[in-house]
Amino acid sequence: MLADLVGLLQRLWGQLHMAASVSPFWQAVFDVSWGLVKFLLVVLFMILNTLVLVWLERKLSARIQSRLGPMRCGRPHGWLQLIADTFKLLGKEDIIPRAVDKALFIIAPVVVFTSSLLIYVVIPLGPGAIVSDLDVGMVYLAAAASFTVMGVLMAGWGSNSKWSLLGAMRGAAMLVSYEVPMVLAVIAVVMVSGTLSTDGIVRAQSGLWNIVVQPLGFLVFLAALFAELNRVPFDLAEAESELVAGYNVEYSGLRFAFFFLAEYANLLALSAVAVTLYFGGWQGPWLPPFVWFMLKTYAFVILVMWIRWTLPRVRVDQLLSFGWKVLLPAALVNLFATGIYVLWV
Amino acid sequence: MTETVEFRPLPADIGEHELLVNMGPSHPSTHGVLRVVLRVDGETVVDALPDLGFLHRCFEKLAESWTWPQVVPLTDRLDYVSAMTNELAYVIAVEKLAGIEVPERAQVIRVIMAELQRIASHLVWFGSFANDLGATTPFLYAIREREHILDLFEAAAGARLTYSYLRIGGVRNDLPPGFVEKCRDFLRLMPKRLKEYENLLLKNVIFVARTKGVGRLTREQAIAYGCSGPVLRASGVDFDLRRDEPYAAYGRFDIDVPVGTEGDVYDRTVCRFEEMRASLKIIAQALDALEPGETMAKVPRVLKPPAGDVYSRIESPRGEVGVYLVSTGGTGPYRVKWRAPSFVHLESLPLMCRGHYVADVVANIGSIDIILGEVDR
C-alpha cells in the first residue's frame, strides 16, 4: 500500500514536471513554489526541533544540577512542558514601553529570528535534501550568521534602556572580535574541500572528516561559535546576573518568545553548520543519512549545553583580548598551515 | 501630571561620555534590595554609590519596646542567612549584662550550631557568588549540601531559617537523639563535596581570570574601612574573634584561620572556602567535647539586668557582629545598637569598583557577601 502511494506521488511529480517544462514562465513558477515548499518544510523542521531543544536544555540542565526538571506537565518527563511554555508566552501581555523607538523595537525580534532561519537554507540534511545548494554557500552562511547581531543592536538601541544598550554594545564589540577568526577558520575548511558549496563540503568529507585535518581550525570555530550563539561562557550580551537580561530586557510575551526561539534555532543551526563543516554532515555507515545528520547535530547541541551549564562567564575585555590575541593568531596559523597542506601534500 | 522623583544621590557633574545606571533595587545580583548608582564610561565604572534603606524594618527601635527574651527572634531576621550567629551575638551580650553563667554543654552546642551555620551561610554565598559570575550550576550543588545542615537545625530547633534556638542562659532544648550521628555523617560527606566545588569553580581558568586582581583592598584600606571577617583576612590581617577573643566554648578548640595576601575577590573566595574546612574541623572537635549536662542556666522568669551598658562582639560568617546594649534595669533593652558587618563592608564597595568594569561590580558585591536584611535592619 505504501509502495502504491509512493508510486502515485512519483507519477504526479513527473506530470507536474512535464506540465511545467512547456514554457519558461511555468518553469519559473514551478521552481519558486517548489523552493517555497522546501523552505516551509525546513521552517517546520526548525520549529519542531526548537521546541525539543528547549525541553532538552531544561532536562539536561536539571540532570547536571541534580534536579529532575519538568516532570508534572505531560508524563513521562514533562514532554508537554514545551507546549505549556509556548502557551504561557503567547498569553503574556505584549508590552511596548512608551519611551522605545517603536519601529526598531518591533522589528528587532523578527530580524533575530529571520537571521537564524536564513542559515537553514544552505544546510544539507541529507544527499540532495537542501533548500538551495548555493555555489557561494559558505559566504552566504557567514553573512547570515552575523546578521543576528543586527537584531541585537536594534533591540538594544530601540529599547531605550541603559541595560539593553550596554548589552547591545557588548554584542557589537563581540561581533568584531569573533567573526574574523570564525570566517578564517571556515576559509581553511573551504580550502581543504575545494568548494564553497555546503553540499560539496559534506561530499568532500566522504573519506576523512575535516576535524581530523583541521583540529586547530575546529577549536577556533568552536570558541567563536559560543560567542555567536551568545551562550556561556560568552553570553555577554545577555549576562543575566550583570545586565539583567541585556538587549532583551524590555521585551515580553510573544516578542520575547521570538528572541527565545531564535536563540535555540540558532543553536541548532550553528550545530548543524559545525557538523557540516567538521563532522562529515550526513555521511556515515549503515544508518540513513538524515539520521546520521540528526545524531551528530544533537550530539553537538548537547556538548554546547553541557559547557553552558558548567562554566562561568568571561568579562567583556577578556573576550575581546581572547578573540584578538588567541583566536585570530590561531586562525591565521591554521590558515597558513592549511595553505601549505593544500599546495604540497 | 508627570511627577518627577528625585533619586539621591544624583551627581550634578555627570560627564558627557558618562552614563548613570541604576543597579537595583531590583536586580538579580544585588542580593536583595540594594541599589547601586553606577557612573559608567562605556563599560568602565567611574563611581559606584550604594544606596540603602529599602529593607529598613526599625529593628533597633522595635527592640526597645520588647522584653529581653523577645528580641531573640528579631535578631533572626537581621542576617537571615545566618540566624544562629545573630542570636548568639545578642544572647552573649545579654548574658554579659545580666551576669548569667551558661552551662558548658550549652556553650559547646552553641559552637556546633554557629559553625554549622557558618558552613550553611558560606554555601549560600558560594552558590550565589558563582551565579553572579555566570555559572548557574554550583548554586544548586551548594543548596543541596546546605539542606543537610538545615535538616540538622530543623531536628534541633524545629525551624529551618529563623530558629530562636539560643536562649538567654543556654539553648532552648538539648540536642535531639541522633543529632550527633547525623552531624558526623555530614562531616564525612562535606570534604568530598568541597573538593568537587574546588574542581568545578575555584580552579576554573575563567573563574580565576574573573576574580584575580579584581576589587583589591590593601591591608591598610581594609583596616581603615573597618572591614572584618573574611574580607579583612583576605587582605592579610590575621584576626579572628573566635581565636583572639574567644566566646562561648571557642577557647577550648583549635581554630584554623585562613589568611589571604592580595585582598582581591579571589582571595576572599579562597578564604571563605577554607573557612568551611576550618569549621568542619571545629565541629568535629566540639562533637567530641560534648559531655552530658544542663543546657539551660537558672534565669529568672522576668529578666531584669542591672542598669548599665555592654558591648559584645562575635565572629559571624560575614564578619564582626557587634551588639551594644543599654539597660536601665527594666524588663527590656533601653537601646540596642547593632554593628552589622555587611553594612560596614558596603562602604568599601566604591573603592573596590572604581576603574573596573560593570561585570566586576557584580563580582565585588558577591565577594563581600552582603545580606540586605542586615544592612538595613
User: Does residue B14 sit at the A interface (CB-CB below 8 Å)?
Assistant: no
> Are B39 and B11 spatial neighbours (Cβ–Cβ below 8 Å)?
yes
Nearest to B96 by CA among B3, B180, B169: B169
Every domain of chain B and the residues it spans: 59-376
Taking the C-alpha atoms of residue A133 and residue A121, their distance in angstroms, rounded to an integer, is 8
Interchain pair B210, A315: CB under 8 A: yes
A345 pLDDT more than 80: no
- Say whether pTM exceeds 0.80: yes
Note which residues in 263-282 of chain A have CB less than 8 A from chain B: none
CA distance A62 to chain B (A): 9
Nearest to A311 among B21, B42, B204 (CB): B204
Contact B134 A317 (CB under 8 A): no
Mention every residue, 6+ apart, whose C-beta is less than 8 A from residue A65.
A309, B136, B137, B140, B141
Q: Chain A 29-48, CB below 8 Å of chain B: which residues?
A: none
ipTM over 0.90: no
Domain ranges of chain A: 46-91, 98-344
pLDDT at B123: 92
| Alpha-carbon distance B4 to nearest alpha carbon in chain A (angstroms) | 16
Distance, CA of B161 to CA of B11 (rounded, Å): 40
A262-285 b/e (C-beta count within 10 Å ≥ 16 → b)? bbbbbbbbbbbbbbbbbbbbbbee
Contacts of B212 in chain A (CB under 8 A): none
Averaged over A235-252, what is the pLDDT? 74
Question: What distance in Å separates the CA atoms of residue B263 and residue A68, rounded to the nearest whole number?
Answer: 39
Instruction: Say whether pLDDT at A341 is over 50.
Output: yes
In chain B, which residues have pLDDT < 70?
A: 1-16
Between chain A and chain B, the number of residue pairs with CB atoms below 8 A apart is 85
Which of the pair, B150 or A289, is modelled with greater confidence? B150
Q: Residue A234 gets which letter from DSSP?
A: S
Give the closest of B21, B141, B357 to A162, CB-based. Answer: B21
Mean pLDDT within A322-329? 89
Computed over every residue of chain A, the mean pLDDT equals 83
Please check the confidence at residue A325 and state whether its pLDDT lies above 70: yes
Greater model confidence, A2 or B280:
B280
A249 touches chain B (CB under 8 A): no
β-strands B35-41, B18-23: how paired? antiparallel
* Distance in Å, alpha carbon of B42 to nearest chain A alpha carbon: 8
For chain A, the maximum distance between any two Cα atoms, rounded to a whole number of angstroms, is 64
Classified as helix, coil or strand, B321 is strand
Cβ neighbours around B220 below 10 Å, total = 10
A312 vs B42, B135, B360: nearest CB: B135
Over residues A222-243, the pLDDT tens digits come to: 888 888 887 778 877 776 667 7
Q: A337 exposed, middle or buried (CB, 10 Å; 0-12, 13-18, 19+)?
A: middle
B43 touches chain A (CB under 8 A): yes
A310 touches chain B (CB under 8 A): yes
How far apart (Å, rounded) are the C-alpha atoms in residues B214 and B222?
15
Q: Given this model, what pLDDT does residue B14 score?
A: 66
Instruction: Give the residue from A174, A313, A325 with the most B CB atoms within 10 Å of its CB, the best one to mutate.
Output: A313
Q: Is B10 on the interface with A (CB under 8 A)?
A: no
pLDDT computed for residue A91 by the predictor:
85
Instruction: Closest CB to B28: pick one of A66, A67, A240.
Output: A240
Q: Of B27, B40, B210, which has the smallest distance from its Cβ to A312's Cβ?
A: B210
Closest CB to A241 among B144, B360, B362: B362
With 70 as the cut, is the pLDDT of residue A275 above it?
yes
Q: Which residues of B touch A241 (CB under 8 A)?
A: 28-29, 131-134, 362
Q: With an 8 Å Cβ cutoff, are B204 and A312 in contact?
A: yes
Burial class (CB in 10 A: 0-12, 13-18, 19+), A253: middle
CB pair distance less than 8 Å for B210 and A169:
no
Fold held by B59-376: Cytochrome-c3 Hydrogenase; chain B (1.10.645)
Report the distance separating Cα A337 and Cα A187, nearest Å: 12
Instruction: Tell me the CB-side half-sphere exposure of residue A26, using CA atoms within 13 A.
Output: 8
Chain B residues with CB inside 8 Å of A166's CB? 21, 40, 43, 358
Residue of B nearest to A313 (CA): B134
CB-based contact, A76 to chain B, within 8 Å: no
